[in-house]
Amino acid sequence: MPELPDVEVYVEHLRRRVVGQPLEHVRVASPFLVRSFDPPLRAVEGKRVRSVRRMGKRIVFELDDDLFLVVHLMIAGRLRWRERGAKVPGKLGLAAFDFPGGTLLLTEASSKKRASLHLLPGQAAVDALDPGGLEPLTASTAQFAEALRRENHTVKRSLTDPHLFSGIGNAYSDEILWRAHLSPVRLTGKMTDQEIARLHEATVATLREWTERLARETGEAFPEKVTAFREEMAVHGRYKKPCPACGSPVQRIAYAENESNYCARCQTGGKLLADRSLSRLMRGDWPKTLDELEARRRGPSPGP
């Protein structure tokens, strides 16, 4: 799922291309995309784009006459900038937004159509879609701590809860926790002030660093390679690969449709976090530490 750094880069490029321009036509290819009906989508045609901004993981287009288009890419939604009037791709295409200088295509590489488009009248209707999470890049340490301690969850769950923090998902939460040297299953209710301050610092540094990195990599071209897995990441998507800090193999906890990637040496004091499915399979035979896991992989020592 595109997260805060990816969406910020999208927004910056959209501002350059469409702010001040009229939205000439909207062509919808998927009936599952549009989630509002009043006003009808044709009401935006000919309206000038006044601003583009991020709201959590959503992109908000403010148009003339107090109209707002709100796009949520969800997991597999992506944006493409093409020549004016470009055809909506047959298999992946959801919609096309035609401007004088080009066409913005919305695609989704998934059979589960989760991406959404709302046309809303007025800022109050936009605010109603906002889960209300704290903006991590502008929050003070005190505000960050208050949000984190609002509910007693694992720190991984809290960071990715849009009602607590805005724009952070599965990928960047892994990177943040690695940078903060914190276990993903550390309970927020037990975290010390020092741990929270370290987490806040790591959150700001990670999100800023990746936003700047993605902007540099994209340059003047519209972002095309938006992905949750990047080779330069420290732990996310790097299961069994060496941690860049200590060289230990990155570990993974899989659950539902998500997973946590972490370094046992750097984040949990060498302790392995039990993967539920493997723990059930192996019953009491699950290795408790990284050293024990590595010893099992090496096999029994040769006899005398």
Question: How many of the other CB atoms lie within 10 Å of CB of 210?
Answer: 22
DSSP assignment of 194-219: HHHHHHHHHHHHHHHHHHHHHHHHHT
pLDDT at 299 over 70: no
DSSP three-state, residue 274:
coil
How far apart CA 253 and CA 221 sit, in angstroms, is 36
Q: Which two structure tokens, joined as six digits, stand for 302?
A: 């040769």
DSSP three-state, residue 77:
strand
Helix (H) or strand (E) holding 253: strand 251-255
Per-residue pLDDT band at 84 (split at 50, 70, 90): very high
Per-residue pLDDT band at 258 (split at 50, 70, 90): confident
Cα 275 to Cα 144, 262, 279: the distances in Å are 29, 12, 6
pTM confidence score = 0.90
Cα 257 to Cα 20, 160, 171: the distances in Å are 40, 14, 13
Reply yes or no on domain 141-276 having CATH 3.30.420.40.
no
Strand partners, 214: none
Q: Amino acid identity of 164?
A: L
CATH class name, domain 4-129? alpha beta
pLDDT at 304 over 50: no
Q: Cβ(250)–Cβ(241) under 8 Å?
A: yes
Q: What is the mean pLDDT of residues 159-169?
A: 97
* Residue ranges per structural domain of the chain: 4-129, 141-276
The length of the chain in residues reads 304
Per-residue pLDDT band at 280 (split at 50, 70, 90): very low
